[in-house]
A = this chain, B = another copy of it.
Amino acid sequence: MKFICSKENLMEGINIVQKAVSSKTTMPILEGILLEAEDSFKLTGNDLEIGIECYVDADIKQTGSIVINSKMFGDIVRRLPESEILIEVKDNNIVVIECENSYFEVKGLPSSGFPSILEIEKEDAFKISQKLVRDMIKQTIFAVSVEESRPILTGSLIECKNNEISFVSIDGFRLALRKNKIESDHRDFNAVIPGKTLNEIVKILQSVDEEISIYISNNQVMFDMGRCRVVSRLLEGEYLNYRGIIPVDHETKIRVNTKELLLSIERASLISADEKRYPVKFSITDERMIISSSAEIGNSREELRVETTGKELEIGFNPRYFIEALRVIEDEFIEIYFTTSMGPCIIRPEKEDARYEYLVVPIRMKKD
């Protein structure tokens, strides 16, 4: 194998596929990146959970393939001058990296030992804007369960139904749901993608309108961005029927400035920071809301203007559950629909076409 490519392009490719490279593994080959020069030049990382392949422009002088340690390769290329890099495999799997006055020889591994990414049938592409997928993942990923007791909840449900695409995460205390109308008439599908995979995908996706294709098979999903493809296994099993969880009625509704509420809860949470047993309390009256917290170190009180419809209410929450959702809502105002002081509440952006719903369960308050 022998090819020449620019430092900039190569570095960009390495940065992307490194997201699928294991840093801790007992199999040295999984710490490597697969370089393949055939008709075109391709980099691949694969930790058996998630595989990423990325095409990089290169002038191929001789075809071939090799696996090179990902960290070493990335560190070397990152520090090379902004120039053309020559890469060549010599006898005994020695990889030569040459750039201006720098010359490296690094031991590689034969590509035959590298686990290939399973091909997924490229039929029935679901096309969607990159920015939209990115936003949908960002608005739901944080509510994925971190507990292994119900493995299916460690992933997000992606569902296509009635010309609508949805991402859903549930961890037992909250539910984040982001939906969007779709133009095309795609067949219905649903799949549960591991949270770990989504965390890597969201780092690769750009905030651009360009379309990507999503392919779903029985046990794999592929995000095809043209030059880069990410393949992940799916979680097995039936996801929760989330539709039944979202309450329809409410007894109290408030309209509040998103940013002001976020800052107030962030401040109140400082008092109860390390002490999960202390909730932040909302006391809602006609035109205002008092956000208070109390712990051994002290207490706090924040006053916010709100527009209230319905009953007055006192209710307590884990502040982190509010903070994480408020940080991903871009709308200036939200509406919060409360059922009772013991029941879940729903946060929705104020806009008519609200495509985001976030449900959170309260903490039972101690009587003073």
> Complex formed: what's the CA distance from A16 to B69 in Å?
43
Is A94 part of the binding interface, using a Cβ–Cβ cutoff of 8 Å? yes
Residue pair A300, B104 in contact (C-beta under 8 Å): yes
> Complex formed: what's the CA distance from A299 to B271 in Å?
54
Q: Choose from B101, B298, B300, B304 the contact partner of A303 (Cβ within 8 Å).
A: B101
Is A200 part of the binding interface, using a Cβ–Cβ cutoff of 8 Å? no
Residue in B closest to A305 when the chains form the complex, CB atoms: B101
Residue in B closest to A101 when the chains form the complex, CB atoms: B303
The interface residues of chain B lying within 8 Å CB-to-CB of A304 are 101
Is A106 part of the binding interface, using a Cβ–Cβ cutoff of 8 Å? yes
The interface residues of chain B lying within 8 Å CB-to-CB of A266 are 79
Chain B proximity mask over A277-303: 1 for CB below 8 Å, otherwise 0 = 000000000000000000011111111
A80 with B267: in contact, given A101-B303, A101-B304, A302-B101 (CB under 8 Å)? Answer: yes
Residue pair B107, A297 in contact (C-beta under 8 Å): yes
Is A102 part of the binding interface, using a Cβ–Cβ cutoff of 8 Å? yes
Is A123 part of the binding interface, using a Cβ–Cβ cutoff of 8 Å? no
User: A293 CB to closest chain B CB, in angstroms?
Assistant: 9
Residue pair B303, A72 in contact (C-beta under 8 Å): no
Interface residues in A280-335 (C-beta closer than 8 Å to B): 296-304
Chain B proximity mask over A48-81: 1 for CB below 8 Å, otherwise 0 = 0000000000000000000001001001100111
Residue in B closest to A302 when the chains form the complex, CB atoms: B102
> Complex formed: what's the CA distance from A111 to B310 in Å?
49
The interface residues of chain B lying within 8 Å CB-to-CB of A94 are 298
The interface residues of chain B lying within 8 Å CB-to-CB of A270 are 72, 75-76, 79
Residue pair A106, B298 in contact (C-beta under 8 Å): yes
Residue pair B102, A300 in contact (C-beta under 8 Å): yes
User: A32 CB to closest chain B CB, in angstroms?
Assistant: 12
User: A186 CB to closest chain B CB, in angstroms?
Assistant: 45
Is A105 part of the binding interface, using a Cβ–Cβ cutoff of 8 Å? yes
The interface residues of chain B lying within 8 Å CB-to-CB of A81 are 263
Residue in B closest to A267 when the chains form the complex, CB atoms: B79
Chain B proximity mask over A92-128: 1 for CB below 8 Å, otherwise 0 = 0011000001111111000000000000000000000
Residue numbers of A with Cβ under 8 A of B are 69, 72, 75-76, 79-81, 94-95, 101-107, 263-264, 266-267, 270-271, 273, 296-304
A/B interface sample: 27 pairs, CB < 8 A: A72-B297, A72-B298, A75-B270, A75-B273, A76-B267, A79-B263, A79-B266, A79-B270, A80-B267, A94-B298, A95-B298, A101-B264, A101-B303, A101-B304, A102-B264, A102-B267, A102-B300, A102-B302, A103-B300, A103-B302, A104-B267, A104-B298, A104-B300, A105-B300, A106-B297, A106-B298, A107-B298
